Amino acid sequence: MGFQSSVALLQGFGVIGESAFAVPRRATPGVIKGSTAANIVVGRAFTIDASDGTYGPGGTGPFGGILANPKAYASIGTSAGGPLAPTLVVPTGTVGEFATDDEIIVALANACAIGDKVIFNQTTGVLSALPPLTSVTGSISTTVLTVTAVATGSAPLEVGQILSGANVVPGTRIVSLGTGTGGTGTYNVSVSQTAASATVTADSLAPSGSTQIIDAKVVKYANAAAGLAVISLIGA
């Protein structure tokens, strides 16, 4: 047997809902409610109910934060393992701590890369990664974007994406498809302009039933499948 030649920097990864690094955490307390108890889980996204100010998993209201600080809550155990079984499920009615500025350990439901955006399921609050950009080569004449090449690994172009680039007017958005259906071809845009051929990037869109956490992104651990990662909420 050969000698060990490398040592992992982190021998054990942290607990979901805890800060990953020594960064300031900004969090807000709030009373938790939810019709499905199994979705009230540390590390998921919660929104605020405007009618009573309570926090619920998922939802379509204002982003309330990621339920954090798992060691602060009384544990009720699990039905299968009994009252002493470990769990990240928090009872409804608990006053939770919701992180809005932090670098926090979470579980993502899909593969991720550093720099990916973060979205949450509006029903469950489960977090997922969203690749941040589609990169293409294209030019714009009046309100028509003509794409001649798509970078390897880029997601398809979609209606609603905001375009950016050295020659592109800020705020330009794809409003409808032309001859293109995600790759090369033409697309109709919202702002009339003349932009010489260059690299153009397009923001990815959250799929139906999901909401993007503005400014949140994956900052540690690229994973080939679902698993733990660290996301930054700073500025979210």
pLDDT, tens digit (0-9, with 9 covering 90-100), for 103-133 = 999 999 999 999 899 999 999 999 999 987 7
Place of tokens 């996204």: 45
pLDDT at 211 over 60: yes
Task: Calculate the alpha carbon distances from 217 to 20, 34, 182, 189, 220 in Å.
Answer: 14, 26, 24, 27, 9
Comparing CA positions, the residue from 70, 31, 26, 63 lying closest to residue 48 is 63
**Residue 144: CA atoms inside 13 Å, Cβ hemisphere, count?**
9
Q: Specify the pLDDT at position 236.
A: 56
Percent of the chain with pLDDT over 90: 67
Residue 140 tokens read as 């714009």
User: Residue 189 corresponds to which amino acid?
Assistant: V
Evaluate if residue 2 carries a pLDDT over 80.
no
Model confidence pLDDT, tens digit, residues 49-58: 999 999 999 9
Write the pLDDT tens digit of every residue in 160-204.
Answer: 999 999 899 998 999 999 999 999 999 999 999 999 999 999 988
Higher pLDDT, 92 or 155: 92
State phi, psi for 198 to the nearest 5 degrees: -165, 180
- CATH architecture designation of domain 26-130+208-232: Beta Barrel (2.40)
What mean pLDDT value characterizes the chain? Answer: 90
- Strand residues in 43-167 grouped as ranges (E): 45-48, 55-57, 63-68, 95-101, 103-108, 117-121, 127-130, 133-150, 163-164
Q: Which amino acid belongs to residue 119?
A: I
pLDDT reported for residue 152: 85
